[in-house]
Structure 1
């Protein structure tokens, strides 16, 4: 989403929140309660990216509302209202979230808030859609530096996350799409598109993302879905108002998208091309994971962007590295990224063997172990992360993929690309002209244009992460780091030994 759209929407969101009367929220909650108990909002509303949440506590009588001690152990709910200005498809988003929560509660033991009541329309005293949810007491993982956790705590966290991923892996479907509600408010998986944050934000920015992935568009193959994601990335370049910083950035971005098409299509595994496709939480970030004081996961929230993904895109969470993709994929920090993914993969392998292996099969042939052993064995797994976060696709391409696939002399390749493609050169000039106009619009709003991010190698979590990798080195970590080089090394040793044997026989 461009800077100006975000700025204007932030203003609209503030107006929207100010228009919500807390007393009406309490009145609504009381009307929904089985015993119609009175309640009050007991702390400040909690604002997320796409929802505003009002925590309410119920009491036995109006007299107890001001009595703090009597409400400490009382029943609490969270009245969650979608921030309508931040949503391009609010009804679709809510239907998908409610259906997914119902499905998860029915099919898994993943901890989620209990859903008491909801309204997708405005048929209530708030005149707004809402969800009445169980109040989750605790803190989120936001602000917890996962790489710097003590080994025991980190292993404990990884084990629990592994359990979530293993259970999600078992929720398999025949196409890429999303759950929704039928006419009886039961979950159904039929013809709903995979609604993502990228789709939402592009639509709000006037980029017509629904023309690329329409409301009822689903995908029966990985190639078809990946091609649609690439079209969204092209759409960002051609129509995003601040998708580039300057001419050099624009040239690199456009070249990178074109050059990556062959890479991505080659990356698709024909054996997994037609699924089955796996249910994935579309926004499983630290703020959406609630834990207690001992780092036990007590609830996972915000399932609105959940959808099924191709097997190759079902990968461990990138935030376990402590960084966003642009930093995590920069050399030498990709080294640390690989380590943490390897550690998480190992945790999932052991957990699947211990808790999801009733027939006592060899651990290396268990379903998720096999999938990740196949697809996390080389740096190409970064492609999956780039496709899951299209806004960072250009960063991942230039940080890793360009050199990995095409080697050095990138400047010459970019220059040759635009010399041979007049149409792309013209599009480049159009985008740069639009950027100049957009910066004038920003100035009128008193905003400065975004600047290219700069990384200070002497500071930040990147260095801390790499330091943590080597803080307590052991054999398993080293093997994890060099797993993609190990087969080549073994081949070399084998050839060397054969040569010695032949020579001795002669």
Structure 2
């Protein structure tokens, strides 16, 4: 259901437009992505929060994500020997259902490129979630731990097959570290979790509080926002409380909201602190 319309016929100065620049590092890329997470939270109206504390959890998680990204602590190194950042074409929807084969099982094409974009190279090193055909945040029983336990044998089989292909490619060493090795590293270091959370807004909060927050900020017994409030400025805490009340009110509002560019910029500026 559409409940938000933004008219951008008038020039909007400042922070509303989507990023349209290049990035000197994956840290800068993740920082921009964190701002987009915050913008989505500010503008989505219904079906976003369960109650006031859930709204606070979501607000604080996005602020902390941006903090660690801006500090250069979120991403692994994505630089080559020349110390230049490495980005690659990445497709969110690259999976068997979108790969075309001929009658001899040769790949002849790949479809559904609308979710492709330039992303840090570490995205391409993440093991494919579709080996289990069920997304981590949707798995039951056992949550993510259960998903990982069921997924790992399939991953090892997939990597063994990939290693066999790599051994047959005599020139693979000329293009850097083999993909199978990079995927193993991503899995064992849990880098894939950071990338998965960052690129999937609907899984972000689940990943952040259950599996990422303590890695950056230490113990958090209840896995929620309360012990992290001291990491926010007074202005951010005040903005959070105003936004919490706004989200609770919006969840009951059935009207479509129409924004002009300038109004949207003004609204967003209140929360991108």
CA contact (8 A) 1:233 1:391 kept: no
Equivalences for 1:196-215 in 2 at 5 Å?
A: 206=6, 211=16, 213-214=18-19
Q: How does 1:33-44 map to 2 (within 5 A)?
A: none
Q: Contact 1:253–1:394 at 8 Å: present in 2 too?
A: yes
After the TM superposition, which residues 54-453 of structure 1 pair with which residues of structure 2 at under 5 Å, given as runs?
206=6, 211=16, 213-214=18-19, 216-242=20-46, 243-261=48-66, 263-264=68-69, 265-270=72-77, 272=79, 274-285=84-95, 287-290=97-100, 299-314=109-124, 315-328=126-139, 330-354=144-168, 356-358=169-171, 366-406=177-217, 408-411=219-222, 414-418=225-229, 421-442=233-254
Q: Matched residues in 1 for 2:197 and 2:67: separation?
A: 15
Instruction: Encode CA deviations 1:454-475: one digit per residue, 9 max, x unaligned.
Output: xxxxxxxxxxxxxxxxxxxxxx
User: Secondary structure of 2:145's partner?
Assistant: coil
Q: Distance in 2 between matches of 1:305 and 1:413?
A: 31
Task: Check whether the contact 1:251–1:414 (CA below 8 A) recurs between aligned residues.
Answer: yes
**Contact 2:93–2:115 (CA under 8 A) maintained in structure 1:** yes
User: 2:73, 2:7 → 1: CA distance?
Assistant: 29
Asked if structure 2 preserves the Cα contact closer than 8 Å seen for 1:238 and 1:427, the reply is no
Q: What SS does the aligned partner of 1:211 have?
A: coil
1:378–1:258 Cα change, 3 Å = same
Q: 1:268 to 1:303 in 2, by over 3 A?
A: same
CA distance in 1 between counterparts of 2:211 and 2:153 reads: 16
Residues of 2 paired with 1:425 and 1:207: CA distance? 30
Mapped contact 1:222–1:275 kept (Cα < 8 A): yes
Task: Report the Cα distance in structure 2 between the residues aligned to 1:437 and 1:339, rounded to whole angstroms.
Answer: 46
CA distance in 2: counterparts of 1:395 and 1:230, whole angstroms: 16
Partner residue, 1:480:
none
Seen in structure 2, the aligned counterparts of structure 1 residues 233 and 425 have a Cα distance that, compared at 3 Å, is same
- Structure 2: runs of 5 or more not aligned: 9-13, 257-273
Looking at structure 1, the residues matched to 251 and 65 of structure 2 have their Cα atoms a distance apart, in angstroms, of 29
2:134 match: secondary structure: coil
Whether the 8 Å CA contact 1:330–1:400 is kept in 2: the answer is no
CA RMSD of aligned residues (A): 3.7
Distance 1:210 1:284 in 2: 31
Check conservation: 2:87, 2:120, Cα contact below 8 A: yes
Greater RCO (Cα-Cα under 8 Å, separation 6 or more): 2
The structure number with the bigger radius of gyration is 1
Asked if the contact 2:38/2:62 (under 8 Å) is kept, the reply is yes
What TM-score do you get using the length of structure 2 for normalisation?
0.69
